[in-house]
Amino acid sequence: MTTRFTKDHEYIRVEGATAVVGITNYAQEQLGDIVFVELPAVGKVLKQGDEAAVVESVKAASEIYAPASGTVTEVNAALSGEPGLVNADSEGAGWMFKMTLSAPAEVDGLLDDAAYAEISK
């Protein structure tokens, strides 16, 4: 299991053939109370950097980009009833979607723990 980060504050956790995507704890702190999450359709094909989801805080909407290319296989349905899960546990129960990766090597180009810690200080 490898977790990598984007400079836009998404995380991607690769677990075997699939990857879990969400926003980092730092990102949820910066956004404040999240009141709505718009998730991609299952089956949607994403290229790295494509807009994949939208999180709405009380103040504003923020786009969530695909950290890597692939196909959406599952979305976190719990977020439609309880978007605050992203605040409470962004890297656990507040995950957003799962995907199969079409170019797994892209993940190697993302930020590791140390590099992400550096930009989210």
Partner 1 sequence: MTDAPTELLKTVLLDGKHRALGGRMVPFSGYSLPVQYPTGIIAEHKWTREHAGLFDVSHMGPSFLEISGKTGDPEADHAAAAAVVETLVCGDIKGLKPGQIRYTLLLNDTGGTLDDLMIARSPRFPGTLYIVVNAGTKENDFRLIAEAAGGKAKFTRADDGALLALQGPEAAAVMADFLPATTGLGFMTYGSFEWRDARLMISRSGYTGEDGFEMLVPANHAAAVWDALLADPRVKPIGLGARDSLRLEAGLPLYGHDLDETISPTEAGLNFAVSKRRREAADFPGATRIVREFGGELNRIRVGLLVEGAPARDGADILGPDGAVVGKITSGGFSPSLNRAIALGFVPPGLSAAGTQLAVSVRGRAQPATVAPLPFVPHRYFRKPA
What does the binding site for partner 1 look like in residue numbers (CB under 8 A)?
32-33, 35-36, 38, 54, 56-61, 87
- Compare residues 31 and 111 and give the one whose CB is closer to partner 1: 31
Q: CA 20, 90, 31, 118 torsion: positive or negative? A: negative
Minimum distance, C-beta of residue 2 to partner 1, in the bound complex (Å): 32
Strands 61-65 and 97-101: unpaired
Please state, in angstroms and rounded to a whole number, the distance separating the CA atoms of residues 68 and 23.
14
C-alpha atoms less than 13 angstroms from C-alpha of 86 in its C-beta half-sphere: 34
- Compare residues 56 and 102 and give the one whose CB is closer to partner 1: 56
- Compare residues 15 and 29 and give the one whose CB is closer to partner 1: 29
Minimum distance, C-beta of residue 97 to partner 1, in the bound complex (Å): 17
Please state, in angstroms and rounded to a whole number, the distance separating the CA atoms of residues 65 and 28.
15
Minimum distance, C-beta of residue 1 to partner 1, in the bound complex (Å): 31
